[in-house]
Structure 1
Amino acid sequence: MDSLRKLSATGSEWIALSFYTMQNNVYSTEIPFDYGRTMTDRDIEHAVKEAKALGLKVCLKPVVNSKDGIWRAHIGFPEESGAEPYWDEWFSSYGNFLSHYAELAQELGCEMFCIGCEMVKTEAKHEHWVRLIERIRGIYDGPIVYNANHGSEERIKWFDHVDLIGTSAYYPVGKEPGASEEDMIANWLPVREKMAALHAKFGKPVIFMEIGCRSALGCATMPWDFTHTELPVSEDEQANFYGSVLKVFWDEPWFAGFFWWDWSVKLYDEQEAQANAGFDIYGKKAERVLKEWYAKSARQGLIEA
């Protein structure tokens, strides 16, 4: 797979293989297996084997989205006394969904398994999550991570039941379009303090399960953004975002690494990189930044995700 070979050439040692299925709407209690909308098991097996042939470790990351277009963070039900049966049904269905992929991760030798991504409204259901994690541990014997959304990490009380504390670290460290690396570093420092406090509270390493921003002017002010397609290309802003967070977190002993969002299955031609304003870094300044840091990692014997 050409895209995987190019990813491996950056010096990366891990990939998060992310794929999704769709429930009908954010209030549905059933999560279907719909191969018209998600990768087949054979697709996943092929991708994992291709990655492993290149020496990459794999975190399998199944995700549930909603057909109504509402962000998965809103999946759930009103906090009313009569809502608990709906929560029970949803977690039962979600447990079946996750168990299927946990079994696949075990069979394929995936080195990590992600049990959820940015499911903010569900996170208060402490006992449901604890039971779900126990169920998954009966199937998959590798490390388990949950991918919180930036800003919601501190509200989760069951992080002591996972092996790594994960977050989508789309923190708006650029306070204005074209922010410098130095300005971004200053804004990463309080984030580092928050992450260090999470580690101290739960005794678990912290990993950025998603992090990145588009190569577009102003995107470091809203790193999660993919909608403002009118913004002009800015390789510098993306490179500053990458360089700043690497400098701030690289040497922290409690920090486990970065899964950069994202690296497309089908990449653009390298000569088109300077006109591309997406999250991909292939052929851009941010890729050169990453390669330099990962070369340093190889010399120092460090492992970065």
Structure 2
Amino acid sequence: MFIKGMTYGWNSKRGDYRQPYALDSLKKLKETGSEWIALAFYTLQPNIYSTDIPFDYGVTMTDRDIEHAVKQAHELGLKVCLKPVVNSADGIWRAHIGFPEEEGAQPYWDAWFRSYTNFLCHYAELAEELGCEMFCLGCEMVATEKKTEHWTAVIQRVRQLYSGPVTYNANHGTEEGIAWFDQVDLIGTSAYYPVASRPGDSEAAMLEKWLPIREKLERLHAKFGKPIAFLEIGCRSALGCAAMPWDFQHTDLPFSEEEQANFYSSVIKTFWDQPWFAGFFWWDWSVSLYPLEEAKQNRGFDIYGKKAEQVLKEWYAKPRIGSESFV
């Protein structure tokens, strides 16, 4: 099983999945050769120290939204990884959600994990009912990852409700700190590794930077015996973004589809033939796409109408065999 995938749906508001433009976007996503989507959506806890994860009617996608998107994807022949995410309403990155490791903190950890388990179980049950082909347990929850006993209990509870393969989306550079990767079916990571030394760097330079990263991830695979996939990976079409692929804030950078295309090509060439590597969910494909004639002005992560789209189409059209199964 090899994932030729794309993230779809992020930063959409309630009701967006059920609009005509969403189906049009999903059809264009399918035309890239993608066979999977990660349907990624979020809710907000009040701040990084909150112990309660609420359903926010003004923010959180409804089950009706999710059901509609999954059914449309399945009708197009796309497999779905359901990816519920918790963000913090105070604007601090979710990696910092957690509590200090000091005496008296344990009740707070217990309370947060109770709430998080309830949050996940709701969507695990929904994923089972809708026939989603994979379920993601969390995304870049770095401060929580040291709580092995809590995560073990979360995974056991999810598996009682969802019968398919489960994964967890670590963050680049922190994958080796997770002791409980033996309990997932697929190790996932956000592979926003900086692989450029200067703006406009060449594909050859990026290829060289990817090699030690590949060696590191292969060691992680050997440690746990699990295939590894990039649950998130991408780069904006802006000059200098291959040196900071995670960046979404520097909106003043000049447009550069070449740098984005070099990033895509270098990643795929490095990992495509590795038998332990399970594939890609690129970041990301918008529910509401810009008009094609505006592609050369768009400096976001989307690849629609850009050189990176052609790179991806050419690779996704190729057969890929020999990956280790995670099912």
**What count of residue pairs does the alignment treat as equivalent?**
302
Cα distance per residue 1:249-298 (max 9 Å; x no partner): 0000000000000000000001100111000000000000000001113x
Q: Distance in 2 between matches of 1:209 and 1:294?
A: 17
User: Out of 102, 115, 136, which is 2:124 matched to?
Assistant: 102
Alignment of 1:86-101 (within 5 A): 86-101=108-123
Q: Distance in 2 between matches of 1:35 and 1:2?
A: 26
User: Is structure 2 residue 34 aligned with structure 1 residue 16?
Assistant: no
Cα shift at 1:302: 7.5
- Which residue of structure 1 lines up, in the alignment, with residue 185 of structure 2? 163
User: Is structure 2 residue 54 aligned with structure 1 residue 32?
Assistant: yes
SS, match of residue 38 in structure 2: strand
Cα shift at 1:97: 0.2
- Which residue of structure 1 lines up, in the alignment, with residue 174 of structure 2? 152
Q: Distance in 1 between matches of 2:108 and 2:206?
A: 43
Structure 1 gaps of 5+ residues are: none
Q: Distance in 2 between matches of 1:296 and 1:99?
A: 37
State the identity as a percent: 74
User: Is structure 2 residue 99 aligned with structure 1 residue 77?
Assistant: yes
* 8 Å Cα contact 2:37-2:281 kept in structure 1: yes
Alignment of 1:278-293 (within 5 A): 278-293=300-315
Paired amino acid for 1:135? R
Normalising by structure 1, report the TM-score: 0.98
- Which residue of structure 1 lines up, in the alignment, with residue 233 of structure 2? 211
- Which residue of structure 2 lines up, in the alignment, with residue 253 of structure 1? 275
User: Out of 74, 81, 84, which is 1:52 matched to?
Assistant: 74
Deviating runs (4+, > 3 A) in structure 1? 300-303
Cα shift at 1:175: 1.1
Q: Distance in 2 between matches of 1:278 and 1:224?
A: 11
User: Out of 220, 224, 227, which is 2:242 matched to?
Assistant: 220
Cα shift at 1:98: 0.1
User: Is structure 2 residue 83 aligned with structure 1 residue 61?
Assistant: yes
Cα shift at 1:223: 0.2
Paired amino acid for 2:78? L
Cα shift at 1:301: 5.8
Cα shift at 1:133: 0.3
Cα shift at 1:35: 2.1
Paired amino acid for 2:224? F
Alignment of 1:114-133 (within 5 A): 114-133=136-155
Paired amino acid for 1:24? P
- Which residue of structure 1 lines up, in the alignment, with residue 221 of structure 2? 199
Normalising by structure 2, report the TM-score: 0.91
Q: Distance in 1 between matches of 2:269 and 2:147?
A: 36
SS, match of residue 230 in structure 2: strand
Q: Distance in 2 between matches of 1:195 and 1:257?
A: 13
Greater relative contact order, per chain length (Cα 8 Å cut-off, separation 6+): 2
RMSD: 1.1
SS, match of residue 61 in structure 1: strand
User: Is structure 2 residue 290 aligned with structure 1 residue 268?
Assistant: yes
User: Out of 58, 63, 74, which is 1:41 matched to?
Assistant: 63
Paired amino acid for 1:140? Y
Cα shift at 1:141: 0.6
* 8 Å Cα contact 2:181-2:224 kept in structure 1: yes
SS, match of residue 318 in structure 2: helix
